[in-house]
Structure 1
């Protein structure tokens, strides 16, 4: 099948020198080595070189925006679905024909994440959502919490001068969105027929304010120390000094390698109030093609027929163990194994299934900084949750205008 498609490309491109073409890919560290291996296979089959360059994940989008608008930069980027709206508005992503991929093999939420205004702008390889990790040296499987009050009680039991009972990156909107949504807060109002209503903001409603007070209480009650951030939380759990944390599937392999005996609880099983459970943000990772690339046909071939196949998505999973976007990869994992125990994969899958996709519209870019500022002011006692969230929504509205 690949050879037929490649011959078709050669026929269509005619005078283009295949052997002088080079595909450039920007990827974060986790995927670089295996993508280079697949790139070598692509080169053997086509004669087209593949240059996979490591770029820090947090820098890929901003650097791509600058480079691509100047007619430079990579042919392919590895990134998140919530970049799509902004990149499409700037004319930087090439739509991918839905007929070219095996749509029925991909999770619906993964395809939806990369769909914007009815067109597909990326091929997903993984989905992700945060969940609650617990260290079995502190908490047995029979003692796992089912609500916030139980989390607090267990956390206080295991908080000492050297250990923390519970930790979350409280100033990071992505990590704490489950608290906000659990109480009934939301970013933009959503209608399946019409999409997001950016004039309907739910980040300072009654539920969001309740979440703000809850987050502040973790510090006021001595459960988490001021200054807790992602690196500290991550290191403490890896060193066996944290009983419970909220983190994502990207951290699993490091914790396994560190020898931590842990379990994972979907946030969708944690009640913030009776009958109301947490709903984490769901993210989708995928491959996007530069619309200004001179090698779009080759990039499409590499993405669709080498990286987004069942075997390719399985290799993504091995390198970066998030939840595979293709449903048929589960069978490969069952047959060949993987770096993450099946029960942990199942827990994260459940957390993602009950979560809320991050809006992929460009207006979402106006949300992150005001919410980060608001959360910092809340947990540091600079503003009340009401004042901080009202200010955040005011800033978001101004930015959207």
Structure 2
């Protein structure tokens, strides 16, 4: 296995480093230097079942090079965040865990992760991935994948990509299908899938700092753009183009059946569309409000426990092995998500589906990884559902939502 040599350490150097780290930990256990594993020559890594096979090969190569063993523990991805926060402070958690970037604020506020030193390799990743894995000016993870939605187009029903939202509606109407376009809503709406339309009105949830990180004190969702989006959303509901009856399952089945030329979705629904005999194209999401329609980007990667005894070896394994083109490509092969490493992404982009989603992801924005985002979700979707269903004045509903979010955050 070919690995990066940027910060590669020899087995001897790792052994010395581990000894120094142990000495420092024994002197400062009360300040967070306790271990997750009694054996500092072993790295314990939490990983989900889909990624375990790839990491097995990377772990073997790392052990051969460094002498440090890697113990892989399979976990249910949905349970990792809660278990990691609970176990790390007790010393029972892993040295490294697979994670979604939007867990980061919660991890940092609970003191369970430590920064990763990417060094010069930071420039090897797509910028949006590094930004997503950063919090308060520090990088806390090595990203391996990027995921976002885009516009899936049935080329038989719509030969060309729409330039604007109105173009999409016109093309969908001209196709004579049941729906001009499809986006999943559901009984409590779906802010994730509606977000690119919202950003096209200039209404992100939070403002950003100079470094691109989110500012929790700048709740921009209630600005004039947000009001315009709410008004537009009500109009789409009144026109029958959006409905809370269109759940994710119904929307995709309608698309597979040829009931619309367009579906806002992610790469996870492409295989079934192709299996249904649809020739699909992946296009940018057309703007409804005049600005760029930016969906959320979800980034997955690996993070290091704040309690590991072997931080140097953990950093080495992540940067030089998980961060290698070979491993990032292998993770893409098993998961289908575009790689975070630029070289691996460029190689994968020979597939037009991957290239299409990647092009949209390059202009997208990371889902906020700050803890305050948790307060947004509880009001956001139900408000959008009420607006789509025309249950009140859209601007008043939107401003009430904004006030409720602000109060919850405070």
Q: TM-score, normalised by structure 2?
A: 0.81
2:87 maps to 1:78? no
| Of 83, 88, 93, the match for 2:108 | 88
Structure 1 36/384 Cα, relative in aligned 2: closer, same or farther at 3 Å? farther
- Whole-angstrom distance in 2 between the partners of 1:179 and 1:318: 31
More strand by share: 1
Residue 299 of structure 1: how far off its partner (Å): 3.1
Residue 252 of structure 1: how far off its partner (Å): 3.7
2:133 maps to 1:114? yes
**Partner of 1:126 in structure 2?**
145
**Partner of 2:122 in structure 1?**
103
CA offsets, 1:105-127, max 9 Å, x none? 12222222212222210111223
**Alignment RMSD (CA, Å):** 3.1
Structure 1 290/278 Cα, relative in aligned 2: closer, same or farther at 3 Å? same
- Whole-angstrom distance in 2 between the partners of 1:309 and 1:209: 45
| Of 165, 170, 175, the match for 1:148 | 165
- Structure-to-structure mapping, 1:254-269, within 5 angstroms: 254-256=272-274, 259-267=277-285
- Structure-to-structure mapping, 1:115-194, within 5 angstroms: 115-140=134-159, 142=160, 144-157=161-174, 164-170=179-185, 171-192=189-210
What SS class does the counterpart of residue 325 from structure 1 fall into?
coil
Structure 1 47/211 Cα, relative in aligned 2: closer, same or farther at 3 Å? same
- Whole-angstrom distance in 2 between the partners of 1:7 and 1:236: 60
What SS class does the counterpart of residue 351 from structure 1 fall into?
helix
Structure 1 276/47 Cα, relative in aligned 2: closer, same or farther at 3 Å? closer
Moved more, 255-264 or 305-314: 255-264
What SS class does the counterpart of residue 123 from structure 1 fall into?
strand
How many residues align structurally?
385
Structure 2 spans left out of the alignment, 5+ residues? 23-36
Contact 1:169 1:229 in 2 (8 A): yes
| Of 282, 288, 292, the match for 2:297 | 282
Structure 1 spans left out of the alignment, 5+ residues? none
- Whole-angstrom distance in 1 between the partners of 2:258 and 2:308: 47
2:334 maps to 1:319? yes
Structure 1 277/304 Cα, relative in aligned 2: closer, same or farther at 3 Å? closer
Residue 234 of structure 1: how far off its partner (Å): 3.4
- Structure-to-structure mapping, 1:183-262, within 5 angstroms: 183-192=201-210, 196-238=214-256, 240-256=258-274, 259-262=277-280
**Partner of 2:404 in structure 1?**
395
Q: TM-score, normalised by structure 1?
A: 0.83
Contact 1:183 1:276 in 2 (8 A): yes
Contact 1:25 1:53 in 2 (8 A): yes
